[in-house]
Amino acid sequence: MDADRALLTPRGELVRGCAEALAEKLAGLPVGTARIDLDMSGVHFMDSAGLEFLEVLRDHGRRRRLPVTATRWNGQPRRILELAGLDTTDPLRSPAPHGTPPPAPSAVAREREERLHLLQEEVEQLRQAVASRPVIDQARGILMATYGCTSDEAWHILREASQLANTKLRAVAESLTACAATEGTPPPEEVRIALSRAAARRSSR
């Protein structure tokens, strides 16, 4: 105790039973305690029980109408707070007033954003691949009939032609199917050359 301020210094791990231990400690504080501060620098591990620990402290402060803080987080407990979306300076801090600039994003938040962006790109690629499947299958059929090759060989010809012409595989397939249609237009010259070269390479192997 420092006058009417209580300083608690938890040590070790915040695991099952820690919330109950804190509740017992809080109940034993002297009457007239006007503030409770927790120095968390001695805590090196916590699981979900650590969040219950914080709720006990928060509820005590609300019931007694006194300020409570839990500061100096580090290591694994700090990362748990980040993952939970809590303020790592003091997870018990009241929300900032309206109009206050948001804090700088944490490393975990940036990592989440990057992973989300990669997942969105992957989903978009898969969506395009599914949408392209019918026209690609048609183009493979055309190549199989034209060159007397297997389905796998037709796929390799398409893929190699796409690389040689520096054109998306779907665009190569679309030009082939358009050419095969009634009154269809021939593929662009660079695609025709790329297809011929790719087919010649395949037949020579």
Q: Where are the domains of the chain?
A: 5-98, 132-204
Residue 87 phi, psi dihedral angles, 5° rounding: -70, 120
pLDDT exceeds cutoff 60 at 133? yes
Question: Which position has the higher pLDDT, 27 or 136?
Answer: 27
Q: What is the pLDDT of residue 192?
A: 86
Query: How confident is the model over 60-72, as a mean pLDDT?
Result: 93
pLDDT exceeds cutoff 50 at 188? yes
**pLDDT tens-digit readout, 69-123:** 999 999 899 888 887 778 888 898 755 455 555 555 556 556 666 776 777 776 6
Question: Which position has the higher pLDDT, 133 or 53?
Answer: 53
Q: Is the pTM of this model over 0.75?
A: no
Give the whole-angstrom CA distance, residue 37 versus residue 55: 14
Q: How many CA atoms lie within 13 A of 125 on its CB side?
A: 8
Query: How confident is the model over 171-178, as a mean pLDDT?
Result: 87
Q: Among 23-27, 37-41, 113-117, 180-184, which stretch is predicted with the lowest mean pLDDT? A: 180-184
Question: Which position has the higher pLDDT, 128 or 134?
Answer: 134
| Category of 149 on φ-ψ map: left (φ > 0), alpha (ψ -120 to 50) or beta | beta
Q: What is the pLDDT of residue 7?
A: 96
DSSP secondary structure string, 43-71?
A: EEEE-THHHHHHHHHHHHHHHHT--EEEE
Closest CA to 76 of 47, 101, 97, 56: 47
Q: What is the pLDDT of residue 191?
A: 87
Residue 31: its H or E element: none
Query: Does the CA dihedral 127-129-135-138 come out positive or negative?
Result: negative
**Most confident of the ranges 92-101, 125-134, 159-168, 195-204:** 159-168
- Report the share of the chain in percent with pLDDT over 90: 34
CATH number of 5-98: 3.30.750.24
Query: How confident is the model over 175-204, as a mean pLDDT?
Result: 80
Instruction: Dig out the tokens for 77 from the structure.
Output: 């407990």
Provide the mean pLDDT of the chain: 83
Do the beta carbons of residue 11 and residue 42 sit within 8 Å? yes
**pLDDT tens-digit readout, 137-168:** 888 888 888 888 888 898 899 999 999 999 88
